[in-house]
Structure 1
Amino acid sequence: MVKQVRENRPRSVHAWVAYELGTRIVTGYYAPGEYIPNEATIGEELNVSRTALREAFKILSAKGLIESRPKLGTRVRPREFWNMFDSDVLRWCFDSTPTPEFLRALFEVREMIEPNSAALAAKRASDEQIAAMEVAYRAMESAEPGTEQVILTDIEFHMAILRGTNNEFMVSLGESIKTALMGLFRISSSKEAAYQASLPGHYAVFLGIRDRDPERARFEMKSLLSKSVHKALDHLAEDEGGKVDVAI
């Protein structure tokens, strides 16, 4: 069965081809270890030149998704080699409806980073950085439900905390997974009630940092993330019309 090809191509044909093939790979349409069709077959299906295909293959190869083997063809690499922090790979995963396992793995990464970042910010953040966190939180409060501002202000709040650690690696990591955060927030904050319910938890994190109480800030962030992952999985289950059973 041939996958239906999207018609809304961007100006960059090779970027569009990379998106098409990338989404096929992350969804398992082309499974790890499988050889994808040759250039002639894909080129005919997508109606693109071999030059565009080769440029797309370069993109996918750089992200760790594929590898070319002389006389054999192009094979999908095992998932462990994929650059999961790459913004395109993350976007393709979310555009293709993420699995519960994927969401759980992302939250596990957040649980390793963000509670410790909140504790570090409570120790190190300058008064100006703490003021920026409050501004970000107030923007969350005033964001109109159902709009993109809900997501953007939520991201800015979390990024403000990472900046408050005054650790350049924390900030860089936050920038790397910003696409993932946007995808997660779209799921967990998709309903107005869920977003409104998350505000007290965000404010509790801010207060822990403002009051220079690292353990309190750590605890409140862990609590916030625990509630968020369950909301995200519940919303995913609703969209799929069933129950998602993933150990948290």
Structure 2
Amino acid sequence: MVKPIAVRSLHNQVIQELGRLIVSGELEAGKGLPREELLAERMNVSRTALREAMKVLSAKGLIESRQKTGTRVREAIYWNQLDADVLAWRCASMPTESFVEKLVEMREIIEPAAAAAAARRRTPEQLAVIKAAYDAMDASETLDAWAEADLAFHESMLQATNNELMTSLFSVIETALGTYFVLSASNSANFKLALPQHLKVYEAIRRRQPEVARQAMVKMVDDSRNNIRRHQANNKQASNKASAS
């Protein structure tokens, strides 16, 4: 069930290993974990390191410990879903259709409002950073380079809102957005297909047109959702044909 890890690894490696197993479903909700001494032995770490890791996983909402029943995996509803590690573990096990839809919904709520706020409040220096990210997207020759520049574009747009609460959201959802951008771009005929829409967002911010920026971002999010949905539909068709043959 639990794979041994190197002796040199400390509690952070325990956190990563157990967290991945829980979020991926390999350790099922409601299931109890082995006793402390057995789990520490299996993972080749000290009981002290294991205890520290368990405290972190408990704070993330993944596990709970009770005197009579021991330590159990909690239902996903109790997880801290915006925790950077939890998001990373979900993305590492490949986003499900449901998770992708939830990411899209989150983007629909946050990013159009952020684009409008950036159009109202951006400074010349912040506008230059957004343009530099756009130029990097335009110059990218690989999907990885595109995704990195795309992420920088959205981060710089959030920075340009000059709203520290809005900006802090990026550090929380960065991993999920990075995975989402790769997924969306890889499912389009050309990963640069979204470049004109990014230019529209940039131009609206440059011209200080909040509503135009908002609508351009709504269209961008909708387009990326459609890319992924088409890919999912094609995969289902292919799977059905393979089953029928």
The two structures have a TM-score, normalised by structure 2, of: 0.87
Structure 1 residue 22 corresponds to structure 2 residue 19:
yes
- Aligned in 2, Cα 1:15/1:133: closer, same or farther, shift over 3 Å? same
Which digits, 9 at most, give the CA deviation of each residue in 1:206-236, with x for residues without a partner? 1121122111111110111111123234456
Structure 1 residue 97 corresponds to structure 2 residue 73:
no
For residue 243 of structure 2, what is the aligned residue in structure 1? none
Q: 2:56 aligns with which of 50, 59, 63?
A: 59
The structural deviation recorded for 1:191 is 5.8
For residue 138 of structure 2, what is the aligned residue in structure 1? 141
For residue 45 of structure 2, what is the aligned residue in structure 1? 48
Contact 1:204–1:220 (8 Å) recurs in 2: yes
- Please list, as runs of the form range in 1=range in 2, the aligned pairs for 1:1-248 lying within 5 A after superposition: 2=1, 5=3, 12-147=9-144, 149-190=145-186, 193-235=189-231, 242=239
- SS of the residue corresponding to residue 74 of structure 1 reads strand
Within 2, Cα distance between the matches of 1:237 and 1:10?
A: 45
- SS of the residue corresponding to residue 184 of structure 1 reads helix
The structural deviation recorded for 1:238 is 6.6
- Aligned in 2, Cα 1:11/1:225: closer, same or farther, shift over 3 Å? farther
Within 2, Cα distance between the matches of 1:229 and 1:6?
A: 39
Within 1, Cα distance between the matches of 2:216 and 2:4?
A: 43
Within 2, Cα distance between the matches of 1:172 and 1:163?
A: 9
Which digits, 9 at most, give the CA deviation of each residue in 1:121-150, with x for residues without a partner? 111112222222111101111122133x22
Contact 1:117–1:165 (8 Å) recurs in 2: yes
Contact 1:14–1:53 (8 Å) recurs in 2: yes
Q: State the AA in 1 paired with 2:127.
A: I
Q: State the AA in 2 paired with 1:208.
A: A
Within 1, Cα distance between the matches of 2:194 and 2:7?
A: 36
- Aligned in 2, Cα 1:186/1:6: closer, same or farther, shift over 3 Å? farther
- SS of the residue corresponding to residue 95 of structure 2 reads coil
Farther-moved stretch of structure 1 (70-79 vs 158-167): 70-79
Count of residue pairs brought into register by the alignment: 239
- SS of the residue corresponding to residue 196 of structure 1 reads coil
The structural deviation recorded for 1:41 is 3.8
Within 2, Cα distance between the matches of 1:87 and 1:197?
A: 29
Q: State the AA in 2 paired with 1:95.
A: A
Contact 2:118–2:205 (8 Å) recurs in 1: yes
Q: State the AA in 2 paired with 1:202.
A: H
Within 1, Cα distance between the matches of 2:125 and 2:95?
A: 37
- SS of the residue corresponding to residue 67 of structure 1 reads strand
Which digits, 9 at most, give the CA deviation of each residue in 1:6-62, with x for residues without a partner? 76x595332222112111111222233332232244334333332332222122112
- SS of the residue corresponding to residue 64 of structure 2 reads strand
- Aligned in 2, Cα 1:157/1:125: closer, same or farther, shift over 3 Å? same
- Aligned in 2, Cα 1:44/1:11: closer, same or farther, shift over 3 Å? closer
- SS of the residue corresponding to residue 195 of structure 1 reads coil
Within 1, Cα distance between the matches of 2:109 and 2:193?
A: 23
- Aligned in 2, Cα 1:232/1:16: closer, same or farther, shift over 3 Å? farther
- Aligned in 2, Cα 1:55/1:26: closer, same or farther, shift over 3 Å? same
- Aligned in 2, Cα 1:236/1:61: closer, same or farther, shift over 3 Å? farther
Q: State the AA in 1 paired with 2:134.
A: Y
- Aligned in 2, Cα 1:63/1:10: closer, same or farther, shift over 3 Å? farther
The two structures have a TM-score, normalised by structure 1, of: 0.86
